[in-house]
Amino acid sequence: MKERILLCLAHMSGKEMDFIKEAFADNWVVPMGPNVTGFEKDLEAFVNKREGLPALEKKVVCLSAGTAAVHLALIACGVGYGDEVLVQSFTFCASSHPITYLGATPVFIDSEKESWNMDPDLLEEAIKDRIAKTGKKPKAIIPVALYGMPYRIDRIMEIANRYEIPVIEDGAEGFGSNFNGQALGTFGEYGVLSFNGNKMITTSGGGALICPDADKAREILWYATQARESYPYYQHEAIGYNYRMSNICAGIGRGQMTIVDEHIAHHKHVQELYCELLKDVPGITMHTNPGAEYDSNFWLCTATLDPELRIKNQENAYKQVITGAVGGAAGVTHASTCATTDCQPNDNVEALRMALDSAGIESRPLWKPMHKQPVYRNAPAYTNGVSEALFKVGICLPAGPWVTDEHVRYIAEQIKANII
């Protein structure tokens, strides 16, 4: 392969520039305007449709990032200093960091084996235990659709409703995923979407919050535009944020919405091809939809490696300190002085990652659970060992519109060639 095969790379429809040019022509180069409104309408139409049922009536507010969407959803749920929020531990830090921005404490919930997402039994155990220990109910519940896989939202909603705790769905990776024919992000009180450069669709950077109704959406919009009161001068009675999406970025989003269905279909096709090509390889298991209710967008395709599987060069895993950052953070990381931590993927996973890397293929470990992150060492956690075990055996493989059938065949061959 001449070109490097990346995990998930943005792919333009060609329509993006038309929307951007319009914004320039009309001098709408600000964080509002026709592209923002148009993109919100497109997103509403997309998330509100349901198989065989009347459409929902959710409202969408476009924001500068998915992280901003999590932050504002927490504020709208009344999360403040000293509160607790129940959040899936197995996730990217953007699900939990905004809790700390508010002076609240994340309480981490481990995953179930089937979906890899929030374990509903542990969730209920945690709710009861937090009430017993603190005398207060947690303020919100955040399940996360890892790699696009739906969480067990029917059970999570049943528990959340019983305890009257709002659910903020982190569907940042799950745009286009459904549970029982309904879009992720539309079951809970709020739903988070991300349009970062590597997500299902991109606005270069951006996000959105799915809101239950027009009033709630207006409130989010108000917080996202510095919480201004209606006076001829700037009058502030609450703390707001500068979180609105720019009209230029929204133009990219509108262009992306013209090909979103093709993108999703392609991710699913790539997943199927991996499954077919790797089905007879002992020690490698693709993560697939665990039941008929689940419809993952397969944002990234993921596999697990049997700990017994031997990979070439495994004895050299973790011998060198890595320079540069995971996730294309353009080298914006602190330098590490030690090549290992007390919780890391198994040597065979790291050896496979290195082997694929030398073959021009980007792969990546699964998210490291938040309850194993040093920065959260003091946060309460309700664990069952599932996310930690998955982190040690899992690997993310390239997916997305740039990944061709030929690429998938090449990746599968490289995986097989590196098994001893």
Ligand X SMILES: *Cc1c(COP(=O)(O)O)cnc(C)c1O
Total residues contacting ligand X by CB under 6 A comes to: 14
**298 three-state secondary structure:** coil
Smaller CB separation from ligand X, 77 or 284: 77
283 token code pair: 């020690």
Q: Is 170 in the site for ligand X (CB under 6 A)?
A: yes
Distance (Å) of CA 190 to CA 175, 193, 304: 14, 10, 32
Which of 143, 207, 255, 401 is the binder for ligand X (CB under 6 A)? Answer: 207
Considering only 64-72, 108-116, 262-270, 406-414, which stretch makes contact with ligand X by CB under 6 A?
A: 64-72
Closest to ligand X by CB, 354 or 370: 370
Of the candidates 242, 185, 241, 244, the one whose C-alpha atom is nearest the C-alpha of residue 210 is 185
Give the shortest CB-2-to-ligand X separation in angstroms.
Answer: 30
Closest CB 66 distance from ligand X, rounded Å: 3
In a 3-state reduction of DSSP, which class is residue 56?
Answer: coil
**Angstrom distance (rounded) from CA 368 to CA 349:** 14
The residue with its CB nearest to ligand X is 66
Rule CB under 6 A: is residue 388 a binding residue for ligand X?
Answer: no
Q: Which of 72, 74, 79, 144 binds ligand X (CB under 6 A)?
A: 144
H-helix or E-strand containing 359?
none
* Shortest reach from residue 68's CB to ligand X, in Å: 7
Cα separation, 309 vs 349, in Å, equals 9
Residue 30's contacts (CB-CB under 8 Å, 6 or more residues apart) are 246, 247
Q: How many CB atoms lie within 10 A of CB 288?
A: 15
Only one of the segments 86-94, 153-161, 276-284, 377-385 lies at the binding site for ligand X (rule: CB under 6 A); that segment is: 86-94
CA–CA separation, 374 and 215 (whole Å): 39
Single out the residue of 61, 73, 94, 99 in contact with ligand X (rule: CB under 6 A). Answer: 94
Of the ranges 79-87, 169-177, 355-363, 385-393, which one interacts with ligand X (CB under 6 A)? 169-177
Q: Which of 19, 28, 92, 376 binds ligand X (CB under 6 A)?
A: 92
Q: How far is the CB of 307 from ligand X (least distance, A)?
A: 26
Q: Which CB atom, from 150 or from 355, has the smaller least distance to ligand X?
A: 150
Give the interface segment with ligand X, choosing from 88-96, 131-139, 300-308, 314-322 (CB under 6 A). Answer: 88-96
In the region spanning residues 95 to 134, those forming contacts with ligand X, defined by CB under 6 A, are: 95
Query: Could you write out the DSSP letters of every residue in 186-227?
Result: SSSSEEEEE--TTSSS-SSS-EEEEESSHHHHHHHHHHHBT-
Mind giving me the DSSP string for 255-294? Answer: HHHTTHHHHHHHHHHHHHHHHHHHTT-TTEEE----STTE
Smallest separation, CB 343 to ligand X (Å): 19
- Binder among 172, 248, 399, 408 for ligand X (CB under 6 A): 172
Q: Which of 194, 203, 346, 348 binds ligand X (CB under 6 A)?
A: 194
Contact 86/238 with Cβ under 8 angstroms? no
* Choice between 87 and 355, CB closer to ligand X: 87
Nearest alpha carbon to residue 121 among 94, 151, 156: 156
To the nearest whole angstrom, how small is the minimum distance from the Cβ of residue 197 to ligand X? 9
Least gap, CB of 413 to ligand X (angstroms): 29
β-bridge partners, 382 = 109
Q: How far is the CB of 189 from ligand X (least distance, A)?
A: 17
Least distance to ligand X from the beta carbon of 265, Å? Answer: 21
Residue 415 C-beta-side C-alpha neighbours within 13 Å: 29
- The Cα–Cα gap between 206 and 247 comes to 11
Q: Give me the residues that bind ligand X (CB under 6 A), please.
A: 65-67, 91-92, 94-95, 144, 170, 172-173, 194, 196, 207
